[in-house]
Amino acid sequence: MTIKSESVSLEDARRIVAAGEAKADEIGQPSNIAVVDVGGNLVAHVRMDGAWIGSVDISINKAFTSRAFDTSTGDLAADAGPGGQFFGINASNGGRVMIFAGGVPLRIGDRVVGAVGVSGGSGEQDRLVAEAAAAAL
């Protein structure tokens, strides 16, 4: 008995990215925004003009992380520090696990169908942009 899954399409990803860009413009923080599908693989990425080049990788990997563990990276952070139950998890997966805010799962009901990752500003700004993006699913 195979497993059926459901994933964001490129069209969905574009709508999600556009919503993130609108929020990033509103708060005046050029950002990198990435969307991954249900398999954790990249569907779309944009770097807004003026956004950090070091955040290309971070946005993509925040999205990967959120789908990889079906959690926001901000929530993961709470368990990933010294003494936390997942301390050191960021060394797993070839260094792709990001443990600071800005990655959010994309859900339809209780099913995760992908994730969005944002990097470009403070942790709080990245979280705001990612949540605005995710809301557009």
99 binds its own copies (CB under 8 A): yes
26 binds its own copies (CB under 8 A): no
- Which x/- pattern, by CB under 8 A, does the window 111-130 give for its own copies? --x--------xxx------
Q: Could you tell me how many residues of this chain bind its own copies (CB under 8 A)?
A: 68
110 binds its own copies (CB under 8 A): no
Please, are residues 119 and 130 in contact by the beta-carbon 8 Å criterion?
A: no
Please, are residues 68 and 38 in contact by the beta-carbon 8 Å criterion?
A: no
- Judged by CB under 8 A, the residue of 40, 107, 135, 136 near its own copies is 40
Report the SS3 class of residue 93.
helix
Q: How far is the CB of 95 from its own copies (least distance, A)?
A: 5
Interatomic CA distance for residues 15 and 107, integer angstroms: 15
- Judged by CB under 8 A, the residue of 20, 23, 100, 134 near its own copies is 100
Q: How far is the CB of 130 from its own copies (least distance, A)?
A: 14
Q: Identify the residue whose tokens are 């709508």.
A: 15
Show Cβ contacts of residue 5 under 8 Å, excluding neighbours closer than 6 positions: 38, 113
81 binds its own copies (CB under 8 A): yes
Please, are residues 51 and 120 in contact by the beta-carbon 8 Å criterion?
A: yes
- Judged by CB under 8 A, the residue of 16, 24, 46, 129 near its own copies is 46
Residue type, 43: V
91 binds its own copies (CB under 8 A): yes
